[in-house]
């Protein structure tokens, strides 16, 4: 049997091992390989929408023919021509939903409007989320990457009385970019998520917050009326003055991965210490199951200073408050990943880092 007589199923299995770059060359060999290789290429597809114009990556001929084979779809919405307070034209929303109509077999869908330069596209977001849940009957995973404008409370209308949509979702991941640290903006987002997607409070597994401007007096916990109950991962980018408990309402007892700046880490430790004295916003089990901690320095210095900070500031607190920790990461020019082992006396031993690209990480094992 020659390669030209191999069954289509066998060729599909072989092509699955190839990178996208290699596949792009393979599909040029012959027509049959183009048909089979295109199926492999379009399992993961990114569609970029600007106005009513769309482009795809990888670039495919005959998107209608390829769409049944797409399993992961990412939709990125761009438009820099709209100003604050001006709604997106109805024909643009219709165009987006018409594109989504083709991808009924998608299992994982991501919506990203963070590249939008005008007013927040919140109204578009929820229309797209609803349409994707209805049209993608096999959808299991939903990712929302959304830019929130300051004062976005009014963007999520309370008059919407339609009950939450039923679905087959198993997982929801959230990434929010905001130019304010006002928690009512974040609160409004999750309120609308719960109102749109049934049982969302038990499906959100990951929250990534990127707060571009912040102060020390912007947190208003009194208005929170949601709670995430299955959260496993939290990332706080550029947040210096708040811990996760200051910004989102969640059950942190299931959290296994946490990334935050040195400033946020110190705030969190203060709250945990206050909890031990009965005066904290944290619940008794919050952060007790943390396994991976990534610390992103809030200050600029040499790698050796970062390592000194790890040894003197991070490790003693980790040993005291995070009994299940197994890995600490320091994000510098690159990320240094340190495996952690536990001594019988409750101290931690930092092993040799197994990621050290571009860094001078020479050190002796340290006990903290």
Tens-level pLDDT at each residue, the chain (368 residues): 677 778 877 887 888 788 878 888 888 888 888 878 877 777 888 888 876 677 777 665 566 767 787 889 999 987 655 444 445 555 567 777 777 888 888 999 999 988 765 555 677 888 889 989 989 999 999 999 998 876 544 444 444 556 788 889 999 999 998 876 667 788 888 988 998 999 999 999 999 999 876 555 455 555 567 899 999 999 998 888 889 998 899 999 999 999 999 889 999 999 999 987 766 678 888 999 999 998 887 666 666 777 788 888 888 898 889 989 988 887 765 566 777 777 777 677 777 766 544 444 444 334 44
How many CA atoms, within 13 angstroms, populate the side-chain half-sphere of residue 111? 22
Model pTM?
0.82
The closest of 65, 218, 73 to 139, measured between CA atoms, is: 73
The closest of 190, 349, 354, 327 to 257, measured between CA atoms, is: 327
Residue 50 CA, chain-centre distance (Å), reads 23
Q: Is the dihedral of CA 144, 147, 150, 155 positive or negative?
A: negative
The residues near 135 (Cβ < 8 Å, ≥ 6 apart) are 97, 100, 101, 103, 104
What class has domain 1-41?
mainly alpha
């Amino acid at each position: 049997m020659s390669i030209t007589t191999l069954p289509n199923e066998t060729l599909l299995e072989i092509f699955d091992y190839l990178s996208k770059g290699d596949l792009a060359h393979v599909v040029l060999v012959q027509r049959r390989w183009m048909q089979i290789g295109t199926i492999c290429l379009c399992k993961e597809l990114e569609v970029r929408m600007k106005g009513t114009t769309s482009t795809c990556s990888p670039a495919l001929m005959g998107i209608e023919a390829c769409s049944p084979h797409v399993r992961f779809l990412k939709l990125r919405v761009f438009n820099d021509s709209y100003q604050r307070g001006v709604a997106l034209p109805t024909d643009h929303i219709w165009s987006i939903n018409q594109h989504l109509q083709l991808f009924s077999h998608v299992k994982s869908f991501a919506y990203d409007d963070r590249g939008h330069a005008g007013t927040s596209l919140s109204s578009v977001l929820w229309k797209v989320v609803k349409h994707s849940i209805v049209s993608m009957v096999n959808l299991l995973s939903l990712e929302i990457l959304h830019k929130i404008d300051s004062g976005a409370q009014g963007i999520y209308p309370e008059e919407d009385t339609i009950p939450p949509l039923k679905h087959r979702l198993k997982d929801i991941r959230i990434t929010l970019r905001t130019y304010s640290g006002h928690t009512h903006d974040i609160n409004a987002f999750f309120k609308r998520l719960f109102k749109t997607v049934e049982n969302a409070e038990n499906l959100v597994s990951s929250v990534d917050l990127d707060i571009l401007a912040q102060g020390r007096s912007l947190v208003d916990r009194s208005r929170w009326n949601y709670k995430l109950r299955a959260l496993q991962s939290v990332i706080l980018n550029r947040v210096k003055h708040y811990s996760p408990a200051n910004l989102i309402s969640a059950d942190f007892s299931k959290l296994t991965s946490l990334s935050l700046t040195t400033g946020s880490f110190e705030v969190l430790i203060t709250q945990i210490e206050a909890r031990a004295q009965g005066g904290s916003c944290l619940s008794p089990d919050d952060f007790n199951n943390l396994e991976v901690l990534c610390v992103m320095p809030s200050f600029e210095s040499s790698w050796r200073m970062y390592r000194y900070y790890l040894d003197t500031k991070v490790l003693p607190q980790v040993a005291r408050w995070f009994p299940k920790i197994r890995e600490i990461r320091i994000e510098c020019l690159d990320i240094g990943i340190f495996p952690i082992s536990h001594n019988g006396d409750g101290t931690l031993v930092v092993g040799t880092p197994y990621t050290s690209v571009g860094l001078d990480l020479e050190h002796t094992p340290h006990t903290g």
